[in-house]
Amino acid sequence: MTPLEARPWCAGAVVYAGRSRTTLAHEGFGWAVRYASYDAGTDRGVELPPAARVPARPDTLFDLASLTKLFTAVVAVRCVERGALDLDGRVASYAPEFTAAARHGITLRQLLTHTSGLRPELPLYACAGEAEREAMLRTEEPVGEVGAARGYSDLNLLILQRVLERVTGRPLDALVRDLVTGPLGMDDTRFNPPADLLPRIAATEDQRRPWAKLDRGMLRGVVHDENAHAMGGVAGHAGLFSTAGDLARLCRALLGGGAYEGRRVLAASSVELMLTAPGLGFEVDQPWFMGELAGRGAAGHTGFTGTSLVVDRATDSFVVLLANTVHPRRRPPVNTPRAAVATALARAVGAGAGPDGR
C-alpha cells in the first residue's frame, strides 16, 4: 500500500441528510484545505501547518463536478415545459451545426439518458481555442449504437448546453441562476465563484501532469475539470460550486414535486419523469453509491471530485455528501463511503416510512 493509498478517503467532507421538513444531520468533518501540494517523489501530500489548514464546515463550498449535470437537466426540462424544446426532438432541429448528431438523428432525450452512443469525453482542453473546441464537439461521431445501451458521457451535456443556449439566447450560467438556483434561494450555488467566497471553498487537486491533463497547481475556487476550465468555467457537465445546505433545497424541491417554500421550479409530472428509470439527467437505483437506498426508485448522481446526492421519494428522504477526494491528488474512485452514508440514512428512516416519519 502506497502512502497516498493509505490516506483517508478524503481530506474533508460535509454531510446533509434530511427529509422534506426535517434535518437529520448537517455536519462538516476534516479539512477543506489540508495540503499545500503533492510530492510525487514521496507519493504524499505536503501538509500545511495545522494553523494554516481550513476545516470543513457545514457552509463550505465544494466543486460539484458532475452534479452540475443535474442543473443542466433541470434547465432543459423547464424549457420543455415552456414549449421551447421537445424531448424527442433532434439536436439538428435546434443546433444544425452539430453535423454528427444530425447525421445520426440524436435526440435530446438520448442526451439526457446517455443513450446517444457518444464516447465519455474528448480532450477539448488540448484545443488551441474556442473554434477548435467547437469543431471537435460538433463533428464527434457516436462510437456506440444510438438509442441503445446507456453509455455515460460528458459530451451529452455539453451538446445539450449548446442547444439550451441556442434556443434561449442566454448563457448556461444565467439559465441555471434564473430557472433553478434563484427561485430556490440557492445563494451559494454558482459557476466561477467570486473571490470573497474563497475562504469558504474547499481545495481540490495539485493538478500536474502526468496524473492530470493540465499543469495548474493546487486548485481552490476554480473548476477542477479540465474541459470545463478550458470553456471558462461554465459547462453543461461540470463547473458549479455549492454547499450541502443549498443542495438540500434542490432535494426538498424534488421531494415536494418540484416546489420548495412556495417556489415551483418544475411541474410534478416533470419530476416524475426525471426521477423514474431510466431518469433524465438522474441515475436511478444504483447501489454502488446509493447503498440500501437503491431498489425503491431512489435517484441521484455523483461527481468526480467526491460529491454525491441521493433523493429517495419512497422514504421522503435525501442525503448530500460533498467531499474533496482529489485533494491533494486524484486517484481511482472508491465509492464505499458514498454507499455507506446512503445506507445509514436508509436504516435511519426505514424502507416504508412516509413524510411524517411513520
* The pLDDT of residue 23 is above 50: yes
pLDDT tens, position by position, 313-329? 999 999 999 999 999 99
* The pLDDT of residue 160 is above 90: yes
Cell numbers placing 178 = 434564473
Cell numbers placing 247 = 443542495
| 300 domain residue, yes or no | yes
One domain for residues 250 and 339? yes
pLDDT tens, position by position, 117-148? 999 999 999 999 999 999 999 999 999 999 99
One domain for residues 254 and 302? yes
pLDDT tens, position by position, 219-230? 999 999 999 999
| 285 domain residue, yes or no | yes
Which residue, of 173, 200, 233, is where some domain finishes? Answer: 173
Q: How confident is the model at residue 45 (pLDDT cuts 50, 70, 90)?
A: very high
Q: How confident is the model at residue 351 (pLDDT cuts 50, 70, 90)?
A: low
> By the 8 A CB rule, do 211 and 148 touch?
no
* The pLDDT of residue 353 is above 80: no
The CATH number of the domain where 280 resides is what? 3.40.710.10
Q: Which range of residues forms the domain containing residue 308?
A: 3-67+177-349
Q: What is the pLDDT of residue 173?
A: 98
One domain for residues 23 and 162? no
SS3 category, 30: strand
In single-letter form, the type of residue at position 273 comes to L
One domain for residues 219 and 287? yes
* The pLDDT of residue 4 is above 60: no
What residue spans of the chain are helical by DSSP H? 3-6, 68-81, 91-94, 99-104, 108-112, 130-139, 154-168, 172-176, 182-184, 226-230, 244-255, 268-275, 287-290, 336-349
| 245 domain residue, yes or no | yes
| 121 domain residue, yes or no | yes
One domain for residues 222 and 313? yes
The CATH number of the domain where 85 resides is what? 1.20.58
Which residue, of 173, 207, 230, is where some domain finishes? Answer: 173
- The Cα 269–Cα 77 span in angstroms is 11
This prediction has a pTM of: 0.95
* The pLDDT of residue 352 is above 60: no
Q: What is the pLDDT of residue 1?
A: 31
- The Cα 36–Cα 289 span in angstroms is 30
pLDDT tens, position by position, 285-299? 999 999 999 999 999
* The pLDDT of residue 37 is above 60: yes
Q: What is the pLDDT of residue 355?
A: 40
Q: How confident is the model at residue 8 (pLDDT cuts 50, 70, 90)?
A: confident
Q: Where are the beta strands (DSSP E) in 221-337?
A: 240-242, 259-260, 263-264, 283-284, 299-303, 307-312, 317-323
One domain for residues 167 and 251? no
Q: How confident is the model at residue 5 (pLDDT cuts 50, 70, 90)?
A: very low
| 259 domain residue, yes or no | yes
| 142 domain residue, yes or no | yes
10-19 average pLDDT score: 97
One domain for residues 102 and 203? no
One domain for residues 215 and 257? yes
DSSP H helix total and E strand total for the chain: 14, 16
| 357 domain residue, yes or no | no
Which residue, of 173, 208, 228, is where some domain finishes? Answer: 173
Q: How confident is the model at residue 350 (pLDDT cuts 50, 70, 90)?
A: confident
Q: What is the average pLDDT score of the chain?
A: 95
* The pLDDT of residue 152 is above 70: yes
| Distance separating the N- and C-terminal Cα atoms of the chain | 46
Q: What is the pLDDT of residue 7?
A: 63
One domain for residues 167 and 249? no
* The pLDDT of residue 195 is above 90: yes
Tally of domains within the chain: 2
One domain for residues 155 and 47? no
- The Cα 145–Cα 109 span in angstroms is 15
One domain for residues 235 and 216? yes
| 354 domain residue, yes or no | no
- The Cα 59–Cα 291 span in angstroms is 26
pLDDT tens, position by position, 264-274? 999 999 999 99
pLDDT tens, position by position, 66-119? 999 999 999 999 999 999 999 999 999 999 999 999 999 999 999 999 999 999
* The pLDDT of residue 358 is above 70: no
* The pLDDT of residue 2 is above 50: no
One domain for residues 103 and 38? no
